[in-house]
């Protein structure tokens, strides 16, 4: 992997952790919960109103993409946003999912 790609991946990781940190603190959770990878999806499932074990379903290949999009939709609803906010969240992640599915 070249250096530019490493920097881009690191920046995406930092933005992801910072975003989850803010989401968790706004929903009354602790910010540090965003840093621990499998645990943060379990906490995110609680934020969107589902049982904590649903966060473990993100580990199932293929199903994780569908579940992630569904979590983003429920996240918009959890913060009383309109449907187009959820659509924007899901569409923001689509290029990442597309690249992961077609790593040419």
The whole-chain average pLDDT of the chain stands at: 83
- Tokens linked to 79: 């913060």
Residue 62 φ then ψ, to 5°: 85, -55
What is the pLDDT, as a whole number, of residue 25? 93
Question: Is the distance from CB of 9 to CB of 17 less than 8 angstroms?
Answer: no
- Tokens linked to 97: 């999912």
The number of domains in the chain is: 1
pLDDT digits (tens, 9 = 90+) for 47-84: 989 999 988 888 888 888 888 888 888 888 888 888 77
Distances (CA, A) of 45 to 10, 56, 57, 64: 25, 9, 10, 13
Domain that holds residue 60: 3-101
């Amino acid at each position: 992997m070249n250096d530019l790609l490493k920097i881009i991946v690191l920046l995406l990781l930092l933005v992801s952790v910072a975003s989850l940190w803010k989401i968790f603190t706004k929903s009354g959770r602790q910010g540090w919960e965003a840093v621990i990878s499998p645990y943060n999806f379990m906490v995110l499932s609680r934020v969107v109103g589902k049982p904590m074990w649903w966060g473990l379903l993100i580990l199932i290949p293929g199903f994780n993409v569908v579940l992630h999009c569904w979590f983003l939709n429920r996240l918009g609803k959890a913060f009383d946003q309109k449907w187009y906010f959820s659509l924007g969240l899901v569409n923001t992640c689509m290029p990442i999912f597309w690249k992961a599915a077609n790593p040419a």
